[in-house]
Amino acid sequence: MSYQVLARKWRPRSFEEMVGQPHVVRALSNALRDQRLHHAYLFTGTRGVGKTTVARVLAKCLNCETGVTATPCGQCSACREIDEGRFIDLIEVDAASRTKVEDTRELLDNVQYAPTRGRYKVYLIDEVHMLSTHSFNALLKTLEEPPPHVKFLLATTDPQKLPVTILSRCLQFSLKAMPADMVGAHLKKVLEQEGVDFDPPAIMRLARAASGSMRDALSLLDQAIAYGSGALRDDDVREMLGAISQDHLERMLQALAAGDGPALMGAVDDLAQRAPDYNAILGELVSLLHQVALAQQVPEALDEGAVDVAAVQAMARSLAPEDVQLYYQIALLARRDLPLAPDPRAGFEMALLRMLAFRPAGAGEAATASSVRSRPAPEPRSETQTRAPVGHARSATTPEPAPAVREPRMPEPAVSRPAPAPTSTAAPGGLDWVATVAAMGLAGPVLNLANHCAVGRHQDGELVLSLASRHETLKSANSERRLIEAVRQYLGEDLKVRIEIGEPTAETPAQSQVRASEERQRAAEAAVAGDELTARLGEVFGAQVVPGSVKPV
């Protein structure tokens, strides 16, 4: 006997065997029990969700020899012949291959005749949206008022292409794509019944690859069993689907957590040897980051059968929650932008480099220092270069010769109001909090909290930080914990640190930054106002410095 594929062998033969679609099964079962039967039904939904299966089960319910029922016996000749596809009063039509109006008219010529064996003559038209406009027009009148012994069952994946005149004559049932958990549970049941050895993660990998289609899942299962020589193994399924091992993704996340760019690019080089689908890899990375976020926030929600829980929990401990959320968002947007990249690998690498560059807690003191050192200093401009346009302007407006160019000299500072004396940031115990915050290399919300704190007391092995009540919203549990850990690691593990709400008596780092910025601005304005060139421009052309236009370098 020839082998029967799983998608056909496990096709439901009754409403009780249907997986998913409870809303459709309930409506049809109640209608059959109450004998409230319509003459035309339209089943819509994506491929492989059960449209044709529901139609065939409904045909059995209508023609079962025990009577019209929601639970056909499955043993009578009508039920067996419908299951085997040879029931004479079930006329199945593929509209994709019979689109012409002549085909539709030929089909409708036999509508008026009574069924040969069954109770109803059932017309099952699959992919009905493929019919031509003339075919729909020929079908309209019969579809609206068919003989009492005729039922029309229409199925389509694209109901938007159906004329509204057809839609208004049918009861429409929309079949939904099935969630991966439901598909996986059914695949597990099939494997147990078939006696096939399997790995639980492989089942969920196939269920996710099916994208909500049970038929696709069973077809992939058939292929995976053949690929694995009669067994379902996770490594075999990953190879068959072109997916990558979770080890590669773990290497990338570890390199991101450590801020190690060379290791990150090394992982990409190893991955490129397998000629992967980079869009699929980004999808795998998004799924893994989702599991890591679950492990951090709701550990009990992890599916032990779908992921390596120990590995996911290890990554959850090594990555900060805000980093995970940022990486997830970057990977999600990178999947959208990948087709726009000149090369898929370049687009994938840019997504990883973006994660590396914008990670909230990645920049330490060394990175900050190196970035400052690598910033080029502005080149000084000589007074000769600065005055050249002035001389040109004078020669164009007056016959007087241009003034002689003098040797460059530093402008004398103009008289301005004295800047306030800097407030001391040292605590009673001698701790300079501004310098401490700069040296700890904080980032993100933790740095924001530290910048608005000041030392209230530092003595007897205890450090008390003061935070103004107007900034109390910065004191989240996570930010406070991470700041305390950073301070203790920098100043000593035996130090007791706590944050109190109260007006700081010393200058906070944020206030110090504002004061320094104001001082630089005043010095810049004073330097411009006292510059000889500025004075000459004012004398000759009546020029004035636009308020707010001076920016310190």
CATH of the domain at 119: 3.40.50.300
- Residue 172: is its pLDDT beyond 90? yes
Query: Is residue 129 within 8 Å of 161, Cβ to Cβ?
Result: yes
State the pLDDT at residue 304. Answer: 66
Q: How many residues are given for the chain?
A: 553
Mean pLDDT score across all residues of the chain: 83
Question: What is the mean pLDDT of the segment spanning 517-531?
Answer: 87
Q: 455: which strand partners?
A: 465
Domain boundary residue, one of 310, 331, 357: 357
Give the E-state strand segments of 27-112 in sequence order. Answer: 40-44, 90-94
Q: Which residue has the higher pLDDT, 382 or 307?
A: 307
pLDDT tens digits, residue range 466-507?
999 888 888 888 889 999 989 988 888 788 898 999 888 888
State the pLDDT at residue 44. Answer: 94
Same domain, 349 and 254: yes
- Residue holding tokens 């994946």? 157
Same domain, 25 and 122: yes
Domain boundary residue, one of 313, 336, 357: 357
483: domain CATH number is: 3.30.300.150
State the pLDDT at residue 395. Answer: 38
State the pLDDT at residue 313. Answer: 87
Same domain, 33 and 157: yes
Same domain, 155 and 208: no
End-to-end CA distance of the chain: 86
pLDDT tens digits, residue range 156-170?
999 999 999 999 999
- Residue 455: is its pLDDT beyond 80? yes
Would residue 552 count as lying in a domain? Answer: no
Same domain, 25 and 165: yes
How many CB atoms are located within 10 Å of the residue 410 CB? 7
State the pLDDT at residue 2. Answer: 74
How many CB atoms are located within 10 Å of the residue 124 CB? 23
State the pLDDT at residue 104. Answer: 86
Domain span at residue 324 reads 246-357
- Residue 377: is its pLDDT beyond 90? no
Q: Which residue has the higher pLDDT, 516 or 361?
A: 516
Same domain, 55 and 141: yes
- Residue 19: is its pLDDT beyond 60? yes
pLDDT tens digits, residue range 271-329?
888 778 888 889 889 988 998 999 999 888 877 656 677 888 888 888 888 899 999 99
What is the value of pTM for the model shown? 0.56
Same domain, 43 and 109: yes
Tokens of 114: 């009574």
Would residue 73 count as lying in a domain? Answer: yes
- Residue 384: is its pLDDT beyond 90? no
Same domain, 196 and 263: no
Would residue 512 count as lying in a domain? Answer: no
| Rounded CA separation 513/257 (Å) | 30
**Among candidate residues 130, 154, 157, the one with its CA nearest the CA of residue 143:** 154
Q: Which residue has the higher pLDDT, 405 or 432?
A: 432
DSSP 8-state code for residue 432: B
Same domain, 136 and 60: yes
**Chain centroid to CA 549: how far?**
43
Question: What is the mean pLDDT of the segment spanning 535-549?
Answer: 81
State the pLDDT at residue 155. Answer: 94
What are the start-end ranges of the H helices in 358-382? Answer: 365-374
Q: Which segment of 177-181, 338-342, 363-367 scores lowest on mean pLDDT?
A: 363-367
| Rounded CA separation 401/130 (Å) | 88
Would residue 538 count as lying in a domain? Answer: no
- Residue 422: is its pLDDT beyond 70? no
State the pLDDT at residue 105. Answer: 86
Domain boundary residue, one of 224, 241, 258: 241
Tokens of 439: 């040296």
State the pLDDT at residue 369. Answer: 36
Query: Is residue 464 within 8 Å of 502, Cβ to Cβ?
Result: no
The total of structural domains in the chain comes to: 4
Would residue 50 count as lying in a domain? Answer: yes
Same domain, 252 and 234: no
State the pLDDT at residue 59. Answer: 94
| 163-166 long-range contacts, CB within 8 A, separation 24+ | 163/133, 163/136, 165/136, 165/140, 166/42, 166/128, 166/136, 166/139, 166/140
Would residue 533 count as lying in a domain? Answer: no
Same domain, 42 and 87: yes
Would residue 286 count as lying in a domain? Answer: yes
- Residue 383: is its pLDDT beyond 50? no
Same domain, 230 and 253: no
Would residue 269 count as lying in a domain? Answer: yes
pLDDT tens digits, residue range 249-274?
888 898 988 888 999 999 898 888 87
Question: What is the mean pLDDT of the segment spanning 383-391?
Answer: 40
294: domain CATH number is: 1.20.272.10
- Residue 41: is its pLDDT beyond 90? yes
- Give the pLDDT band of residue 96 (cuts 50, 70, 90): confident
Dmax (CA) of the chain: 119
228: domain CATH number is: 1.10.8.60
